[in-house]
Amino acid sequence: MDPPLHDVYRRMLIPEFSVRRIREMRPAIQEIVDRLLDDMLEQGTSADLVETFGLAVPSLVICRLLGVPYADRDFFQSRTRRMVGAAPEAPQDSMNAAMEIWHYLDGLITEAEREPGDNLVGRLVTARRESGELSHDALVGMTFLLLVAGHETTANMIPLGVLSLLRDPGQLAGLRADPGGWPLAVEELLRFHSIVDWIAFDRVATEDMKIGGQAVRAGEGLFVLGASANRDPRAFERPDELDLRRGARNHVAFGYGVHQCLGQNLARAELEIAYRTLFERIPGMRVVGEVEELPFKYGGPIFGLHALPVAW
Ligand code: HEM
């Protein structure tokens, strides 16, 4: 979607992702992370971190954000897991789960139209009534976009970051000694992994232009390789090295320009709380098996791991 309509929608959502609003959400995120780790520890001494933690954290955070009632969380979580985690050979399963979520959100919004709660959906419904700018279907579409954009990204970033940290005990020890270093570490993990690559940045030129000396004609497609920018030696020294104290905030892991990630403050808070709490509570965690044999998601739109077996 392009401006000016894009601006109208985006402006409605900006206050929901402000630094202040996300700061207010931190205790709720901490509670979600703590509960999931309680469950994991109760279950035994090993787990698949993708299933039990990576997928669960963003799913429950989004439930909270959208005001999904507690009783519906299992339904919501299982469908989001199927939508995001379906095997590549069974795309229909993912489509079916997406349809079920769409219907669910449709119902959630109808409910909020009757009685708007004090959450993102409630506030949007109220704003829509006041301004008349947003149709019911547009609202369903918007919440669905938030769910997809905020779920798969964070769900992949959590296990990948954990893996990187487990493979680098020296830097992990540094973070344990100085937990104030976590925000910088999160930025570097985002840069280093650049999980959202060309699929998010694909564009069609609306007019003739020149980019980096290259002529692009109106109507031509562009694939901007975000990961390549994030490993550009002109922008970052030793770009292929994970340096958790690098402090480089000029990465493009959240995109650039008018579509830059709306949920980046939330993503940063989720990642920081998830990594810090996990390593505080399970200091002896280790990867089970050979890293080279882990099932990485090559070829998918967003990089990540299908599974990360860990033990402690
Ligand atoms: C590690 C986590 C995340 C990463 C790496 C990430 C990355 C990105 C990127 C690269 C874009 C730009 C796409 C483009 O230019 O076309 C984007 C857009 C977006 N992201 Fe995120 N994202 C993350 C988490 C989240 C979260 C938690 C939410 C909200 C719940 C969210 C909501 C959005 C939305 C709504 C857009 C579209 C913005 C627009 O078009 O104006 N993202 N994200």
Identify whether the C-beta of residue 269 lies closer than 8 Å to the C-beta of residue 119. no
Residue nearest to atom 20 of ligand 1 (CA): 261
The CB of 29 under 6 Å from ligand 1? The reply is no
Q: Are 121 and 67 in contact (CB under 8 A)?
A: yes
In the reported structure, the alpha carbon of residue 270 is separated from the centroid of ligand 1 by a whole-number distance in angstroms of 14
**139 neighbors 105 (Cβ within 8 angstroms):** no
What pLDDT digit, counting tens, does each position of 1-53 carry? 899 989 988 999 999 999 999 999 999 999 999 999 999 999 999 999 999 99
Q: Which domains does the chain have, with CATH numbers?
A: 5-193+263-311 (1.10.630.10)
Residue owning tokens 């008018």: 258
Report the percentage of the chain scoring pLDDT > 70.
97
Higher local confidence (pLDDT), 95 or 244: 244
Interval between CA 196 and ligand 1 midpoint (Å): 9
pLDDT value at residue 86: 61
Question: For the chain, how big is the Rg over CA atoms in Å?
Answer: 20
H or E segment to which residue 125 belongs: helix 120-131
Mutate-to-test residue for ligand 1 from 5, 21, 153, highest number of ligand atoms within 8 A of CB: 153
Angle (CA) 254-35-63 rounded to 5° is 50
Model confidence band, residue 160 (pLDDT cutoffs 50, 70, 90): very high
Other beta carbons within 10 angstroms of residue 23's beta carbon come to 11
Pick from 111, 116, 118: nearest CA to 128: 116
How many angstroms separate the alpha carbon of residue 153 from the centre of ligand 1? 8
Q: Which atom of ligand 1 is nearest to the CA of 194?
A: 5
Distance 259 CA to ligand 1 centre (A): 8
Q: How far is the CA of 15 from the centre of ligand 1 (A)?
A: 15
User: Residue 262 C-alpha to ligand 1 middle, in angstroms?
Assistant: 6
Q: For residue 131, what are its two tokens? A: 């301004």
Asked if residues 311 and 286 have their Cβ atoms less than 8 Å apart, the reply is: yes
Spatial separation of the C-alpha atoms in residues 148 and 127, rounded to whole Å: 23
Peptide bond into 15 cis (omega under 30): no
Strand partners, 296: 305
Ligand 1 atom nearest to CA at 145: 35
pLDDT tens per residue across span 84-115: 766 666 778 888 999 999 999 999 999 999 99
